[in-house]
Each structure stands twice: as C-alpha cells, then as structure tokens.
Amino acid sequence: MTSSTKGSLIAALSFVLYGLLPLYYHFLPGANMNELLAFRILSSVPTMMLLILLVTGKNIDFMAIWRDKRSLLLCLVASLVMSVSWYAFTWALTNQQVLAASLGFFINPLMAIALGALCLKERLSPGQKIAVVLALIAIGLKVLFSGELPMLALLMATFFALYGLVKKFIRYDALTAVTVEAIVLVPIALPLVLFWHIDGNLQASSEGASLFWLFVGVGPVSLIPLVLFSLAVERTSLTMIGLMQYIEPSLQFILATLLFGELFDFKQGITFGLIWLGLLICTREGWLNHRLRQRSAQSQTLSPQPPNTQA
C-alpha cells in the first residue's frame, strides 16, 4: 500500500469519526456549553501530549515554541477563533440541531474559498465563483423561508474558515500547533472550572461519575479525528482530502434525518440542494484539474530527453 493510499484511508477515517460525533453529544443534551468548552480545553492538553509521544516518539520542545513568539500569538488567536466555531457546533449537537451543524460544514469550504479570495487575493476559478454564488442564493432563500439568518451554520462555517486562514501563518508543525492551541487557553479554563466547583454550580459533577467522564471525554473524541487529519495531510494530496471532507456533513445529515428525526422539508431541500450543486461543480472542476496535472506530469516524464551533445 502506497503512502498516498494510506493517507487517503486515514483522511477517510478522520472524516467518518467527525461525522459520527453527534452520537457522542447525543448523551449530553442541554449541556452547559461554557463547562463543556472548558473541559475540552483541559482534557485536550494531556491527550495531545500523549498522542505526540505515540506518533513521533518525542516530547514537546517548549523552548522552540517559546522562541517563535509570533506563532505562539497566532495559536492563541486560532484557539479563540476555533472556540467560537466549536461552541456553535456543540450547541447544535446538544440541542437537536444536527441539520444546522451539517449545513455549516457544507458551507465551510465555500466560505474558505471566499476568504482566500478576499484575504489572500487568490483568484477564483469559474466553478468556485458559481459555487459561492449558489451558496449566497441558498442563504438568501433560507432567510426568506425562515425570516432569519441560519446563524449557527454561518458561525460554524465562518469561524472554522477563519481558523484555517490563521493556521496558514503558524510555523509550528500540525501536532505541536494543536497542542499549543489548547495550552494557551488553560489559564482561562482551569480557574473557571475551579470557581464553578467551589461555588457548587459545576454541572459535570452534579449527576454522578458518568456525566463527569462524558465531559472529560469531549477533548479526546474531538481531537483524535483532528490528529488523523493532520497525519493525512502529510501523506496524500489536498485534492483527495477535499473530495473526502464531505463525508463528515453527509454522515451528520443522515444521522439528523434518519436517527434523530429532525425535520427536512421542501424548503430545507432547496437550501441544501443549491449548496450541494455548488460543491459538486467545484469538486468536479478540482478533480478534472487534478487529472490534467497528473497527465501533464506523466507526459513530461515519458517524453524523450534530448541527446547529450557535449564531448
């Protein structure tokens, strides 16, 4: 099995685990979001340190982290931005809004394309332009049908895309960056948890050990897919990862409609349909361009080399 094939399988596993996350959060209905976020931060640190040790066989070089203060500051920004996206995502999963979470992750690639064009001056391809326009029409129709913006989906998509944008400027390796993103928020999360506990308002410890460990487990279950994703990026092409990323919202969509019984009516169908159409156009264009680049590289490799005329 080639490294690229292994990377593709790891990417697929990552997105499957992400897609199945609603099953875990289904056991935390109405959970306190502030507590859940704090526990995620606290349990993420030992989880990431253990994973880095298992994957690389080395401990974190904190001196190297401290020397690159620009990346350290950007990790703080990335962590705060990610917290907003994760907060909205988790609220959706614990409040019977899995369809909203699914919509957010379908919108996210298009939001990332738009941010790339606005902030990094990247040129949009024809397919990307069509996809962004269709997404804007879908959001407009969603507002027309419901009388309000799909705030959960937009918060998730926008802040996750911003997270990706900030990550482009961080010079740490992927695993170290994720760990630092958790560590920098510990000084905020730990005092809050201690205060809630002393004040007697800590939900995680109010209903027995099972609820407490469910809160603690939020860190590992959300980080393991992220680590797998980071490993996949190193082994396979971004095109393959881009094609596979729709596994996650597709699984969430299936869980929402078939298992959790969320309403999916004609109006929802129009909104999702326009976004799916845009993603299909964008994905097909990316796949065709990828194939053309492969054929071009193969033809250059097979073309005969000019004879050596030097004496």
Q: What is the pLDDT of residue 311?
A: 45
Helical axes 209-233 vs 174-183, angle rounded to 10°: 150
Q: Could you tell me which of 110, 119, 122 has the C-alpha nearest to residue 165? A: 119
Sign for the pseudo-dihedral over CA of 152, 153, 154, 158 = positive
pLDDT of residue 122 exceeding 80, the answer is no
What are the Cα distances from residue 117, in Å, to 74, 121, 229, 297? 21, 5, 24, 27
CA distance 1 to 80: 39
User: Residue 164: inside a domain, yes or no?
Assistant: yes
The tens digit of pLDDT for each residue in 42-70 reads: 998 888 888 777 777 777 888 889 999 99
Q: Which of 70-74, 268-272, 298-302: highest mean pLDDT?
A: 70-74
User: Residue 267: inside a domain, yes or no?
Assistant: yes
Within 10 angstroms of residue 51's Cβ, the number of other Cβ atoms is: 21
Tokens of 159: 């802040």
What is the arithmetic mean of pLDDT over 193-209?
89
User: Residue 296: inside a domain, yes or no?
Assistant: no
pLDDT of residue 199 exceeding 50, the answer is yes
Phi/psi-derived region of residue 172, left when phi > 0, alpha when psi is between -120 and 50, beta in every other case: beta
286: helix, coil or strand? helix
pLDDT of residue 195 exceeding 90, the answer is yes
User: Residue 123: inside a domain, yes or no?
Assistant: yes
pLDDT of residue 310 exceeding 90, the answer is no
User: Residue 298: inside a domain, yes or no?
Assistant: no
Helical axes 151-167 vs 69-94, angle rounded to 10°: 160
CA distance 211 to 140: 40
- pLDDT class for 243, splitting at 50, 70, 90? low
Which residue bears the tokens 């960056």? 177
User: Residue 7: inside a domain, yes or no?
Assistant: yes
Within 10 angstroms of residue 70's Cβ, the number of other Cβ atoms is: 10
For 82-142, the three-class secondary structure string (H helix, E strand, C coil) is: HHHHHHHHHHHHHCCCHHHHHHHHHHHHHHHHHHHHHHCCCCCCHHHHHHHHHHHHHHHHH
Tokens of 41: 């931060």
Which residue bears the tokens 């289904």? 26
What's this model's pTM, rounded to 2 decimal places?
0.80
Give me the domain span that covers residue 67: 3-291
Tokens of 47: 């989880």
What is the arithmetic mean of pLDDT over 121-149?
81
- pLDDT class for 307, splitting at 50, 70, 90? low
User: Residue 168: inside a domain, yes or no?
Assistant: yes
Domain count for the chain, please give it.
1
Q: What is the mean pLDDT of the chain?
A: 84
User: Residue 306: inside a domain, yes or no?
Assistant: no
Helices (H), the chain: 3-19, 21-25, 33-56, 62-67, 69-94, 98-119, 126-146, 151-167, 174-183, 186-199, 209-233, 238-244, 247-254, 266-302
